[in-house]
C-alpha cells in the first residue's frame, strides 16, 4: 500500500513528464552548442535545468541595435507540451513588451507546438524586435507613440537601449582599454630617478673629507717632529750644562 501510495504521488507530481522534459532539454542544450546562432545565447542554471538565462543582441537596423537584452526563461515540467515562459529582464520600450517584461507573441499561446525548440523561440523574439506586431500591442504607450510621432518613438527606443541595454563591450567594440600600469610606471621612474640624482650630487663632496684628514695627519706629523726636535735640543742643553760641573769636581781632586 505504501509503495502504491508513493507511486501515486509521483504520478500526480508529474515525475514521468519531468523526466521526459529533462531529456528534451538536454538535447536542446547539445543542439544549441553545436549550432549556435549569432546574437543569441542561452544557458541553463547550474542548479535548475528548467530555469534559463538568455541574451539577445538588438538586430541591426532596429532602434535596439547595439544593445544586449537579458531574458529569463522558465520551462514547465510538461515541456515541450506547454510553451516556455519567457520574460525580458532588461527594460525595453517595445509595443509587444510591457513594463513587467511580458512578451505578446503568438507562439506563447495558440500557435505553440512541441516541435518548436527554445532556440526557435528566441529567434522569434529577436525577429519581434526587428519587426514589431502593432496589430496586437501589449504596451499601448509605445504603440500610440509610434502612430502619433514615429521620430519620438524611435528616439525613446534608442535612448532606453543606450541607458539600460548597453554593455561595456557593445559601447566601444574593439576599443583598446587604457593600461592602468602606465601612470604607475612613470611615478616609479620619477621617484627612483630623483633620489639617485641627489645621491650623485652628495657623492661629489666625499673627496673633501679625505684631503682634510690628510691635512690633519700632516699637521700632526709636523707637530710631532717639532716636539721631537725640541726634546732633542733640550736634552742637548742639559748635556752641555752638565759637562763643566764634571770638570770642576775633577780639578778639586
**Which residues are annotated as catalytic?**
104
Q: Report residue 109 as a C-alpha cell.
A: 499561446
Cis bond before residue 80 (omega within 30° of 0): yes
- The H or E element containing residue 210 is helix 207-252
Q: Is 64:92 a contact under the CB 8 Å cutoff? A: yes
Cα–Cα distances in angstroms (integers) from residue 154 to residues 142, 161, 189, 205, 225, in the given order: 10, 11, 52, 77, 107
CB burial of 226-249 (b: ≥16 within 10 Å; e: otherwise) equals: eeeeeeeeeeeeeeeeeeeeeeee
Q: Report residue 194 as a C-alpha cell.
A: 630623483
At 184, is the secondary structure helix, strand, or coil? helix
At 176, is the secondary structure helix, strand, or coil? coil
- Residue 72: strand pairing partners: 53, 87
HEC profile of 111-157 = CCCCCCCHHHHHHHHHHHHHCCCCCCCCCHHHHHHHHHCHHHHHHHH
Amino acid at each position: 500500500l505504501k509503495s502504491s501510495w508513493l507511486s501515486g504521488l509521483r504520478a500526480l507530481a508529474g515525475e514521468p513528464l519531468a523526466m521526459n522534459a529533462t531529456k528534451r532539454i538536454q538535447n536542446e542544450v547539445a543542439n544549441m552548442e553545436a549550432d549556435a546562432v549569432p546574437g543569441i545565447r542561452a544557458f541553463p542554471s547550474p542548479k535548475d535545468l528548467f530555469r534559463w538565462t538568455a541574451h539577445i543582441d538588438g538586430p541591426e537596423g532596429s532602434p535596439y541595435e547595439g544593445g544586449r537584452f537579458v531574458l529569463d526563461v522558465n520551462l514547465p515540467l510538461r515541456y515541450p507540451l506547454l510553451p516556455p515562459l519567457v520574460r525580458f529582464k532588461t527594460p525595453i520600450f517595445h509595443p509587444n513588451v510591457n513594463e513587467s517584461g511580458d512578451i505578446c507573441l503568438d507562439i506563447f499561446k495558440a500557435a505553440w507546438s512541441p516541435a518548436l525548440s527554445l532556440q526557435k523561440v528566441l529567434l522569434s523574439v529577436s525577429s519581434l524586435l526587428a519587426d514589431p506586431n502593432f496589430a496586437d500591442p501589449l504596451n499601448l504607450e509605445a504603440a500610440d507613440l509610434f502612430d502619433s510621432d514615429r521620430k519620438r518613438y524611435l528616439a525613446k527606443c534608442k535612448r532606453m537601449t543606450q541607458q539600460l541595454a548597453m554593455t561595456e563591450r557593445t559601447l566601444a567594440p574593439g576599443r583598446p582599454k587604457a593600461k592602468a600600469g602606465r601612470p604607475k610606471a612613470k611615478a616609479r621612474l620619477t621617484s627612483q630617478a630623483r633620489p639617485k640624482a641627489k645621491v650623485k650630487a652628495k657623492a661629489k663632496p666625499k673627496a673633501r673629507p679625505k684631503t682634510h684628514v690628510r691635512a690633519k695627519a700632516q699637521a700632526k706629523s709636523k707637530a710631532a717632529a717639532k716636539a721631537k726636535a725640541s726634546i732633542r735640543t733640550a736634552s742637548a742643553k742639559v748635556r752641555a750644562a752638565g759637562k763643566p760641573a764634571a770638570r770642576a769636581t775633577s780639578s778639586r781632586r
